């Protein structure tokens, strides 16, 4: 059996390890946005497919038996391409989608629909912004005046980006003590994040709650309808095993 896993998320990595250990042929497809991704078991390809038609063609040419979309919750385009490609190539598709975060007592969350709306919101909440939305969307904050940004990303960001900015190169998972220290050291008074879900980056939310720091949180984009969803790696592995018969 040949399973194509889309995405370099923590869940996608764990799924590749699980299936590879079970003797399943696995190809992990990475977008290529991280310069030095962690090693993965099985086969690895990097880069786009050329839209839904290109993905369908790749699936047929490489005799893929099942596709699992384990991309980041904000990588919306590939999820729709995967749905169309799976339908045209008649290959089963599963979405491995980590549950989103939910606020608890003490949280001061400000949900927004986009990075652009987040940029319009931060100015009324604080002046020292901890920006944890990744390096690809910094252009939305380039024209925010009167604010200083601490930008955390795996790789150095490229312009356009905020003029007043310090970059913190780091890769999760992060700890609660570490996130507390970041907020204290840099005097952060507002946090901006996407609703990525999962445990790897959740400690920043707890640290913000403790410190009384407001959180601007970008809601997830729409996903394709009609695609079965697994919330855990175990569920996804069981689905793949069932496809293998």
CA pair distance 168, 194, nearest whole angstrom: 17
Residue 104 pLDDT > 90? yes
For the chain, domain boundaries: 2-99+221-243, 109-218
Q: What is the CA radius of gyration of the chain?
A: 19
Per CATH, the number for 109-218 is: 3.40.50.720
Residue 39 pLDDT > 90? no
Q: What is the pTM of this model?
A: 0.85
Task: Name the CATH superfamily housing domain 2-99+221-243.
Answer: NAD(P)-binding Rossmann-like Domain (3.40.50.720)
Q: The tokens 């050291």 sit on which residue?
A: 185
CA pair distance 208, 188, nearest whole angstrom: 9
CA pair distance 53, 43, nearest whole angstrom: 22
Domains 2-99+221-243 and 109-218 share a fold: yes
Look at residue 226 in the predicted model and tell me its pLDDT. Answer: 94
What is the rounded average pLDDT of the residues 48-68? Answer: 96
Q: pLDDT tens digit string along 191-204?
A: 999 999 988 889 99
């Amino acid at each position: 059996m040949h399973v194509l896993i889309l995405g370099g998320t923590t869940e996608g990595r764990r799924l590749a390890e699980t299936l590879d250990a079970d003797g399943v042929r696995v190809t992990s497809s990475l977008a290529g946005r991280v310069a030095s991704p962690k090693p993965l078991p099985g086969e690895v390809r990097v880069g786009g497919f050329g839209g839904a038609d290109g993905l369908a063609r790749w699936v047929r040419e490489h005799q893929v038996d099942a596709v699992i979309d384990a991309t980041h919750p904000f990588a919306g385009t590939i999820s729709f391409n995967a749905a169309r490609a799976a339908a045209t190539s008649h290959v089963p598709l599963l979405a491995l989608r980590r549950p989103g975060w939910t606020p608890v007592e003490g949280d001061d969350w400000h949900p927004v629909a986009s990075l652009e709306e987040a940029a319009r919101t931060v100015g009324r909440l604080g002046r020292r912004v901890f920006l944890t939305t990744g390096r690809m969307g910094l252009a939305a904050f380039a024209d925010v005046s009167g604010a200083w940004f601490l930008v955390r990303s795996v790789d150095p960001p490229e312009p356009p980006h905020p003029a007043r900015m310090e970059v913190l190169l780091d890769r999760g998972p992060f700890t609660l003590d570490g996130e507390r220290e970041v907020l204290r050291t840099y005097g952060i008074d507002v946090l901006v994040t996407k609703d990525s879900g999962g445990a790897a980056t959740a400690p920043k939310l707890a640290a913000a709650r403790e410190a009384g720091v407001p959180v601007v949180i970008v809601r997830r984009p729409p996903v394709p309808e009609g695609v079965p969803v697994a919330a855990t790696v175990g569920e996804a592995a069981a689905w793949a095993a069932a496809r293998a018969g």
